[in-house]
Amino acid sequence: MARQLRAEQTRATIITAAADLFDRQGYESTSLSDIVAHARVTKGALYFHFAAKEDLAHAILEIQAKTAKQVVADVENRGYSSLEALMRTTFGIARLAVEDPVPRAGLRLATADIAVRPPLNHPFTAWLDYAHRKFTGAVREADVHGDLDVGVVAHSLVCFFVGTRVAGRSLEPVGRLPRRMAEMWHLMIRGMVPVHRRPRYVTLATQLEREIRTV
């Protein structure tokens, strides 16, 4: 039991070290030797858990998918409107990126040329599907304009979210991400939410940003 616990701790240490390097310097620029040094483990320990760098990347993507699903589950169980649920989910994922290097690296790996192995879906596919469902619900609930092209706006949201992080990585610290999420939503709300419903969602975006900044 003690040996198994040590093995699990070593694996987690390696994943965290790899995630930190993948996020800071990119997947292609990070070698296994870099990861060994950063994790302070032996090469034997690394190869015991991961045969190749691609295996490490996939493990990080799996963790990201699991944590994102948990964010969605937590939001879905609270009975929010479709639009509010979607907003809370995006801020929840932003919080993960701010607080945890593994989901943060998962977002960067999602933009790299890495094949996602079944049964895991590519993060962008999963996010597009979820956004499409939530915007469809928002149309039904009259929280957005009835003629909204759900597919287009779902695609735009995912591109906006990912692009914000990709651009921000080079321009500003990750702690700025919650503010960028609020700015993203303020723009989208003005374009798709009826005037009489906008104050509720503008206020919500500001509130969610503040909640992350004060944690």
Give Cα 136 to chain centroid, integer Å: 22
Specify the pLDDT at position 1. 60
Determine the length of the chain.
Answer: 215
Specify the pLDDT at position 214. 54
Using CA atoms, how far residue 203 sits from 189, 200, 207, 209, in Å, is 11, 5, 6, 10
Q: How far apart are CA 94 and CA 211, in angstroms?
A: 12
At residue 28, what is the residue type? E
Backbone angles phi, psi at 10, to 5 degrees: -65, -45
Specify the pLDDT at position 21. 95
* Cβ contacts of 186-189, under 8 Å, gap ≥ 24: 188/153, 188/156, 188/157, 188/160
The pLDDT tens digits along the chain (215 residues) read: 667 788 899 999 999 999 999 998 989 999 999 999 999 999 999 999 999 999 999 999 999 999 999 999 999 989 999 999 999 999 999 999 888 889 889 888 988 878 788 888 888 899 999 999 999 999 999 999 999 999 999 999 999 988 888 887 777 888 888 999 999 999 999 999 999 999 999 999 999 999 887 54
- Single pTM value for the model: 0.89
Q: Strand, helix or coil at 103?
A: helix
